[in-house]
Amino acid sequence: MKPKVDLSVYVITDRKLAAPRSVVEVVQAALRGGATVIQLREKEAPTREMVELGMALLRVTRPAGVPLIVNDRVDVALAIDADGVHVGQDDMPAALARKLIGPDKILGVSAETVEQALLAQRDGADYLGVGDVYGTPTKPDAGPPIGLEGLRRIVEAVDIPVVGIGGITPDNAAAVIEQSAVGVAVISAVFAAPDPEEATRRLRAAVEAGRQRASGERTL
């Protein structure tokens, strides 16, 4: 049975930004700070390294009760029995990924348009990673930022949870949540931070602040 996932603070790995620290060290700090999902995303890592790193991450995420999602590599996700997989628009089609991982694993899909979001929902996605919201240097091939308005349009069009991604920091995360996104996904905000634990804690606080403000607006 598929577990219910808290998508509040979704932290994505980056070995280069982590250095000289290890990916596992930064993830451990993020978990202490309140990260609710970890995604293994290492585009240039060979398969063996991905498997070894994924297994090392599972040894810290599983005891914390936090899901580990593997970006793009369905084979690696299945090999290490990760909790799920996330695919982008240039990766394996979502419907095929769902067929391979089965009904009980988590499937996330990247989207930047309403059309992509609706297709991903139809093809079995459990959640969407939507952006880039503000623009980000970690994905130079990304299109122009969709902004908060673009994020809101997608949130309103689908019935599955939406996580905002792209240039999100503790200072602007609350605004993302106010668009009815359920969480924020970050790379550099945690992996490039001098203190990843504190950065994650600030993100978690910003998410909660955004929810409170959004709830207040709805009750007016």
Catalogue the active-site residues: 41, 110, 139
| Whole-number Cα distances in Å, 26 to 20, 29, 98, 192 | 10, 5, 30, 9
In this structure, the strands spanning 37-40 and 127-130 are unpaired
Rounded CA separation 187/104 (Å): 26
Decide: 72 and 89 in contact? Cβ < 8 Å.
no
Rounded CA separation 67/62 (Å): 7
Which tokens hold the place of 163?
Answer: 């996580």
Rounded CA separation 50/15 (Å): 11
Secondary structure (3-state) at 106: strand
Decide: 155 and 181 in contact? Cβ < 8 Å.
yes
Rounded CA separation 127/65 (Å): 19
